[in-house]
Structure 1
C-alpha cells in the first residue's frame, strides 16, 4: 500500500480473534435486525395515519370539499376503510428490507398528481400527502437497533 498505513494483527490474541470472527458472522446475517426494523416501521407508519402527518411531522393537506362530499368518513385524511394503512408491509431481502404498500393509489397519495381520465374520480388534482418515510427520530432508533445487534454479537 502506498502512502501511510497501519496494520493491525491479532496473532496471539485468541479472544479478540474470536470476537472479530463472531462480529463478522453476525454482520453477514442481519435478517433478525432487519425484521425488527420492519416491525418498528409498521408501528411508526400506523401511528402516522392516526396523527395524519408526513414523516417530517408536517400535517397532511386537508380534504378538499369535493372529497368531503364523496367520502363517508370525513374526519380522517387518507382513511376511508383503512385499506392503505392496512396494506403497509415489509419484505426482507439480501440488502436489507423493502417497505411500502402494494395499493395502486399509494403513489398518488405519497407524491401527489392528477388522476387518470379513466379513474373513479377523473382528472382530479391530488396533493402530496407523504406517509412513507423515515423521520429523524426513527432513523436514530434504527441506528440504535443496528448498533445493539452488533454489540450483542461481541458479547
Structure 2
C-alpha cells in the first residue's frame, strides 16, 4: 500500500518563491550585515571593550606618561597641568586621532561580506591580536579586540552579534 500526499498551499509557495528570489543575490543582505557590524565596532571603541563586552586592558603608565609629555601635560614643578588633567580624563584606549576606528569598513558581495581595516593602518593587527612591538620587539602590547573575537586560528562573532546577523539574514531573505 502506498500513501501519497500533495500539499497545495499558495502561502507556502509564495514564501518559497520569495526566498528563491531574495537568495539569488545576497548583496543587500551582506551590505546590511556590514553596516550593522561597522556600527558595532564603533560601539566597541566607545565602550573600550571587545565585541563580547570584555573591557580592554588599560593603558600602561609608560603610554600615559608619553602622552602627557607629548601634550605638555606637566608643570615645571612636576605636577600635572590643567592640560594634563584634561588629557588624562579624556584619554580613550586605542584612540589618538580616530584613524583606527575610522578605518574599519565593510565590503559586500553577492555571497559574503568582509569587515576589516584594510592595509593602510599598520598597527591595526597588533592592537587586535596583541604581541611584541617597538624597537627590538621589547614592548608587549595586550590584545584589545575591536573586531570579531580571536578563537585560536579562527575569528568568531560574539553571541549577541551572531544573533543579530542571523536576524538580518532571516528578515532579508524572507522579506518580512
TM-score range, shorter chain: 0.7 to 0.9
Aligned residue pairs, count: 143
Query: 1:87, 1:40 → 2: CA distance?
Result: 15
Greater Rg over alpha carbons, structure = 2
In 2, the alpha carbon distance for the partners of 1:80 and 1:150 equals 40
* Distance in 2 between residues matched to 1:131 and 1:138, nearest whole Å: 13
Offset from partner CA, 1:104-128 (integer Å, 9 cap, x none): 111000110111537xxx6311011
Match of 1:139 among 150, 162, 169: 162
Change in 2 beyond 3 A, CA 1:95/1:117: farther
Tell me the equivalent position of 1:3: none
Once the two structures are superposed, what CA deviation does each residue of 1:39-87 show, in whole Å capped at 9, x if it has no partner? 1111111011010001111100000111112225542110111110000
Q: Which runs of 4+ in 1 moved over 6 A?
A: 7-10, 12-15
| RMSD between aligned residues | 2.4
Unmatched runs of 5 consecutive residues or more in structure 1: 1-6
Give distance in 2, aligned partners of 1:22 and 1:8.
24
Paired residue for 2:30? Answer: 34
Secondary structure at the aligned position of 2:94 is classed as coil
Residue 102 of structure 2: aligned partner? 86
Instruction: Give the TM-score normalised by the residue count of structure 2.
Output: 0.71
Matched, 1:104 2:122: yes
| Partners of 2:15 and 2:174 within 8 A in 1 | no
> TM-score when scaled to structure 1?
0.80
